[in-house]
Amino acid sequence: MKLLTLNTHSWQEQDQLEKLDVVAKAIIEQDCDVIALQEVNQRYDSSIINASTVSNFPVHSDNYAYLLQQRLLVLGHQYYLTWDFVHQSYDVYQEGLAFLSREPVIEHQVIDLNDNYDEKYWKHRRAVRITLGYKDQTLDIYNCHCGWWNDIESPFQQHIERIKSCLSGRLSLFLGDFNTPSHLVDEGYSYLIQQGFIDTYTSAQMKDDGNTVVKCIDGWQNNHEALRIDYVFSNQNVSVSSHKVIFNGDYYPIVSDHFGLIVSLDLH
């Protein structure tokens, strides 16, 4: 199974439609099975469409993931779409989480990661779980965009506890932007490992440096170093043939303020 995760920073990038075409090309050329996208935006006042989706929220005509799905369809590749609203963003956008999957979605769950959830508050977070069938097995895949360690308004630990509370016992994979650098001791990454999250990077047979942020970006305005803050975790040991950074200018052009990850698992 080949997985792709990317924080798209959608509609905040220059030449966004051209970059969307780059993402579509990579999905096809890399033969991706499941794509998890974060910061998938649509204007609140754009038109609603009757998209084929299992989502609980209306998809608009300018939804980044919908446009990507349609681009893939034009190129002869069908993917099932989910998109779920997380919070309002940049005044005019509804920001959410999206999946594109080759296999139909068996189950779908939106997980509020904060108490007294307020969609108007940009620090409030959701995660999304989908259940898929793949090679005679059933597995859960989570799309995650967590907050920052020690943020008392929206605690990282609470986000992870809410995600863990939804575990079914099946093989579960956790994709996304966790906003916690891997090199900081006794912070979010250490907490994830203590909670039983297995980093596919550590066991990958082939891998690069894994860094997905290399400059100051939204949420990391004072950053001046390369960071590994986007991940693919699992709850069980899996065979990982490769873990590679994508959309970094070397392996496909840059399309966002985050680089993406493409991870190949040997699932039998």
Q: What is the pLDDT of residues 96-109, one digit of tens each?
A: 999 999 999 999 99
Q: Is pLDDT at 52 greater than 70 in this prediction?
A: no
- What's the whole-number average pLDDT of the chain? 94
Q: Is pLDDT at 50 greater than 80 in this prediction?
A: no
Q: Is pLDDT at 60 greater than 80 in this prediction?
A: yes
pLDDT reported for residue 218: 59
Task: Give burial (CB, 10 Å; 0-12/13-18/19+) of 183.
Answer: exposed
Give the lowest-confidence range in 27-41, 52-66, 209-223: 209-223
Average pLDDT over residues 13-41: 97
Report the C-alpha gap between 189 and 167 in whole angstroms.
19
Using pLDDT thresholds of 50, 70 and 90, give the confidence band for residue 222: low
Q: Is pLDDT at 223 greater than 60 in this prediction?
A: no
